[in-house]
Structure 1
Amino acid sequence: MPDIKLIQCQDALVAGPSKTITSKTEKQWNVRVSPSVNRSRNPIRETLASITANTPSSSKAPINLGLGDPTYYPLHSPPPAAIAAVEKAVLDGKSNGYLNGVGSSEARQAVVDYHMRWDQVQYSIDDVVLTHGVGQGLDLIFSVMIPPASVERSNILLPRPGFAQYTALLANLDAEVRYYDCLEENDWEVDVDMLNSLCDEETRAILINNPSNPCGSNYSREALQGILEIAEKHKIPIIADEIYGHMTWSSPFVPLASLSTSVPIITLSGLSKRFLVPGWRFGWICLHDPLGVASSLKKGIQCWGNRFMGPNSLIQAALPTILATEPEWYDQVLSKIEVLAKIVHKGVSDAPGLSATFPSGAMYSFVKIEEGAFPALQDDVAFATALYNEQAVFVLPGMCFGMPGYFRVVLGTPADVMLDVIERLQEFCQKHGDL
């Protein structure tokens, strides 16, 4: 039998038996992740976990106003016809296979019909790509539009305050993120002078979120036209996150694409919010390109869409029925959100140390913590943490949206639950206020 040590150790064979045998340094595991992982953290989820890690000292029932999930309580049942259409797709067994990566022709045509019906914007099915919710739609758009820094420097303009997922999705790309302000004194509409000053030759896109998360604002036609003028001047396309489109009550929603006669508009929408089914993870991208200057972008979106096999085939089959939901159902939902908006606005107005503009869209109220009003609570995170501990009410601090000194309230509970929230909030403010 051969000497196993001599066979395994080549050094020993060369050196001979009189030499000391030394083992080679053993190779260690070196499993690493990209640095972009840390930059991609979602502050909303992390803040929720941090604040709710401990059980509240209060004996009151916990009320979660942190996540924008209209099914949590729930606010309202989804459209009955939508449920029936999904059930039919499951039972008939004809919608279980792969589809075109950008979506089936029938589902994309349903999106075309929906936007013509509600927005008066004409798309062809080639302008539409279906996605796994607006989140994946944003990821697709960012990936297509932003080049590696080794090829070309670029920047993208985002709103402040704004949805945290934008920054998280951009973290693994090479674009510089520039923030333009939305002004509370102007009902959270865009500071167009600042927007104009941030644009340059390296700006790849301006992102607009209307109606707004977290502000609950609904931009006027004049405000949107001002944004379009800036985009036209600098020849920059606009990404329009309109997932809350038509979820307004004080004034009608104006789709950005309906106003543009030159600027390419990439509109993102979906079922999550307006149809109250966020877990279905179904969204879409529509490209409005009046002058035909964004053909490469259109091809890129279609190419990227085919990296996956499209969103859920069952929902695609049911989509024509879902998107044909009658206006009366939407009216019922909006009337409930408007009631909640009024409850919160009055309650906040009567609470010492707090203020808020009246929300007119989406499903949020963004509340300001007056500076110095609560001496023992150093910032919005401390405020939210103490509110949860003492009153078992969870709200998201403004820092999650790039706006410290505020907190966001989700308008998604039954009215009696929100009245309870206001009572607890006012009690909390009276206790901690600098009276």
Structure 2
Amino acid sequence: MQIEYVVPCHFGLEAVLKREIRDLGYEISQVEDGRVSFYGDELALCRANLFLRSAERVLLKAGEFSAGTFEELFQGTKQIPWEQYIPENGKFWVAKAASVKSRLFSPSDIQSIMKKAMVERMKEHYHKNWFPEDGSEYPVRVFIKKDVVTVGIDTTGESLHKRGYRPQSGKAPISETLAAALILLTPWKRDRILVDPFCGSGTFVIEAAMMAADIAPGMNREFTAENWGNLIPKKHWYEASTEAQDRIRQDVTADIQGYDIDAEVIRTARKNAVNAGVDHLIHFQQRAVRDLRHPKPYGFIITNPPYGERLEEKETLPQIYQDFGKSFRGLKDWSAYMITSYEDTERWFGRKADKNRKIYNGMIKTYFYQFMGPKPPRRKKEEQGV
């Protein structure tokens, strides 16, 4: 059975998610700001949750309709065949409502009216006036854009950035999904050197190591839809989980390094890498960015340097970026990629970026600066078996 799924992601990174979904073998139905939709079967729900690195969550699309008034919203919601998705004892509510350029814009009103419409539909189908809601959870998410209402049932639960390996975060952490998407935007591959000189809690290097070993990002967590016995047979979850286990490359080697000036932060990063099962692929070290060195050419820096969000940090930023730029110039034929909201990045780094891309990290407007080095000679690539 073909089902349409809606997958939200960070604004500006839709192309990365689209490629990931295609690589899983599914057909894209639509790409919009901050989300990609695709068609798949019931197993696709399990595989998307387990394997997608840049997705925030996976929604099962229940319906879509136009509504410019609350009455139209009520009737449109009531038309959706909720009984096909939610059993008699299911717990259901509108967990989140978002509205852009639409006449209906109050999230709390949208949520309560839709819940009432769902109850009315369920009453008519189940011939009951009251529902215990003591069974599995079916949280609903709704997005209204230009009066078009898209309704999805959340199959994920806690956002997919919650991989399960990072109970503690350093200062100004970058989310796992954003880190993974940014790595996927670069040409880095597991046979190339990767260094994060501001590694913090280790997110970039851990995500890279998981990619190198082909470890599915959702392996060590649970999903809301695992309890949907009425919709998704358990065998599909076992099948997706077995595929994830089979794909892990136990024999892989990588040159991935995480540095930070703070010893406590490095200890946390090491613990997180152990939790993710990739500590053997990453070398962590307490080291300042001015001491960044590497003898080999054609490496990659992918990092999230300090932004100076706190006033007292602002004064130290020029020196940090100056030191970073100086170290980078000492690395032969390397490429550097950094995400930061610091407006004087290029000035103090000492070089204009070859490309930059605007990306929202939460509510902070940031730029992903890309300083590209040359590609390694083809002959060397062939020797490495690429």
Q: State TM-score, norm by structure 1.
A: 0.25
Q: Which has the larger radius of gyration?
A: 1
Ranked by relative contact order (alpha carbons within 8 Å, sequence separation 6 or more), the top structure is: 1
Q: Higher strand proportion, which one?
A: 2
Q: Higher helix proportion, which one?
A: 1
